[in-house]
Structure 1
Amino acid sequence: MRDAVEADTIILAVPFGEHREVAKALPSWKGKTIIDAMNALVPLEELNGLPSSVFVAKAFTGAKLAKGFNHLVAATLAADPIVEGGHRVVFLSSDDEDATAPVAALAKQLGFAPVKLGKLDEGGALVHARGRTWGRLIFQDLFKKEQ
C-alpha cells in the first residue's frame, strides 16, 4: 500500500466498501489521479443518490478522479488488449478533464483504446452500477480498429 500511494496515478480496485480505508492512507491526495475501477452494487441511499465515483471522490481529498477499467472482468483486462488488429476499448469518464487526459494516456500505453464518455453523471452513467442495475456498457467487450 505504501508504494502504491506514492504513485501519481493510482488504480483503485478494492471491494467498494474498503475505499474509505484506502483514502485514510494519506491526509491529502492533492496531485494524485485516482482511477475508480470499482463497481458498487449497493442501494442508492447508501450513496446519497450520487454516482458511485462521485461518492468515492469525496473520500480522496484533493485528488482528481476518473472512472475507468471497470466495465470488463479482470481476466479480460489482463488479456492482450490487441485483438484481430484492433485495440480493446476502455471507457473513461470524469467531472475533471485534467483527470481524463492522463488516464487516457495510460490506457493507450497499456495497449487499450480509451473512449471518453464525458461527465460521471452523464455518459459515465453507462459504466456505473446504479442500485442493483448494471450500466448499459458494463461487460461490453468492444474493439476499435486502427484506420
Structure 2
Amino acid sequence: MLAETICSAVSAAGLGIAAITAWRRRFMTAARIAAYALVPLGLVLTGAVEWLARTAFSPVAWAGFGVLGAAWLLFASTRAVERRRAGRKETAVTEGRQAVAPAAPTLPSGAGRQGPSAKPRAGAAAADDFSDIEAILKKHGI
C-alpha cells in the first residue's frame, strides 16, 4: 500500500514538471518527462509494484536468490577449471611436438658450396655468421 502511494506521488510530481516544461514551450522535453512520469503509475496499475514489494520482504525469495548465486559460482568455477586444463593440455602437446621434432642440422664452419668465384674465408668469419643465425633460432625456440 505504501509503495503504491509513493509511486502515484512520483507520477503526479513528474506530470506537474512536464506541465511546467510545456508552459515554457519545450514540448518535446515535456512529452519525454511525461512518459517517464507515467511509468510508475503504470507499474502500480499492473500490480508489479505489489508483487515486487512481496518479493523483496520474502525470505523464500531471498533463499532463491542465494541458490541462483551459488549456481552461478559453480558455473564460473567449472569454466575456470576447464580453461586451465585446456591450457595445460595445449602446452603439453606443443612441448611434445618440440621434443619429437629433429634438431636443425648445423654446418661446420668450412662446409658449404664454394664455387670458383667464392673467396676462401677465414674460420672466425664463418663462425660469426652462423652464431648470429643460431642466436636467432634459439630466441624463437627452434
The TM tier, using the shorter chain, reads under 0.3
The structure carrying a bigger helix percent of its residues is 2
Relative to the length of structure 2, the TM-score reads 0.20
Larger relative contact order (C-alpha < 8 A, sep ≥ 6)?
1
Relative to the length of structure 1, the TM-score reads 0.20
